[in-house]
Amino acid sequence: MTGAGEQEPPRATAVLVEGFLGATPIATPEGWRPAESLQTGDAVLTFAGPPQPIRRAQHSRVHPADWPRRLAPLRVPVGALENHEELLLLSGQQVLLQCDQAESQFGEPFALVPAAALEGFRGIVRARVPGRPLAVTLNFAQEELVYAAGAALLRCPASEGPDDPLRALLARAESGRTPALSLEQSLHLVACLVAEEAGAVLRQFPLQAARARGANRP
C-alpha cells in the first residue's frame, strides 16, 4: 500500500508484453525523458492534443531472456519507425502506422499494430535483452499516443475502460479512434508493406534487376 501521491514500488512479473522498457525516451514538455523516470502526475506530449498528465505509472522488473521467442522484445533500428535512435519494443506494444495500405485495407490511413507483427519490416528483429530491466506501463485519462525516440508513436491505454473486450472494441469504433488490428490483420498489413517497399526498390534499379534475371537463366 502506498500513500497519496507516492509511486508504487517496482514489482516482479513473469511476462510483460505491453509497455515500455525503462530506457525508452518519451517526449515531455521538458524534453526527452527515459520511461523509467516518469511518475504519476508527470505531463507527456501526445499525438492528439496538448500534453496530458499520467494517471498511473506502473514500474515492474522483467526478465526477457527467460521469455519464449514469440514474446521476446523487438529491436527497431534507427529510422525504421521514424525513430532517431534504436528502440526496444515489447512484443504486444501497439505501434501506430500511417500508410496507404492501411487505408485501402481498413478504410483509415492509420492503424495500430502489435510490435510482434513488425518483425522483418525495415530491419526490425527479435532481441535478447539480458538482466532484469525495468519496464513501465503508463495510463492516461483516455487512450493516448505518445512519442518515443523521435516520431515513433506508441499507444498508452486509459486508466479505466471496459473490462469486456467486445465493449472495448465498440467503444473504440464509436469514438472514431484509430483501429487496433488483430495480430493476423497486422501481419497481413506488414507483409504488404514489405512487398510494396521491395517493389519500389526494384523499380529504382530496372537495369540491375534485368541483369539479375538474365544471370539466373540457363
Sign of the alpha-carbon torsion through 89, 182, 96, 56: negative
Q: Which residue has the cell 534507427?
A: 78
pLDDT digit string, tens, across residues 99-118:
999 999 988 899 999 999 99
Run of H or E residues at 64: none
Which three cell numbers mark 136? Answer: 513501465
| Total residue count of the chain as it appears in this document | 218
**pLDDT value of residue 2:** 46
For residue 16, what pLDDT is reported? 74
| DSSP of 2-28 | --TTPPPPPEE-S---SSEETT-EEEE
Q: What's the pTM value of the predicted model, to 2 decimals?
A: 0.79
Could you report the per-residue pLDDT of 117-171, keeping only the tens digit for each?
A: 999 999 999 999 989 999 999 999 999 999 999 999 999 999 875 544 445 555 5
Angle at 101 between CA 98 and CA 103, to 5 degrees: 70
Q: How confident is the model at residue 39 (pLDDT cuts 50, 70, 90)?
A: very high
Model confidence at 210: pLDDT above 80: no
- Using an 8 Å Cβ cutoff, are 95 and 183 in contact? no
| Close Cβ partners of 81 (under 8 Å, ≥ 6 residues apart) | 87, 95, 122, 151, 152
- Whether the predicted pLDDT of 192 surpasses 90: yes
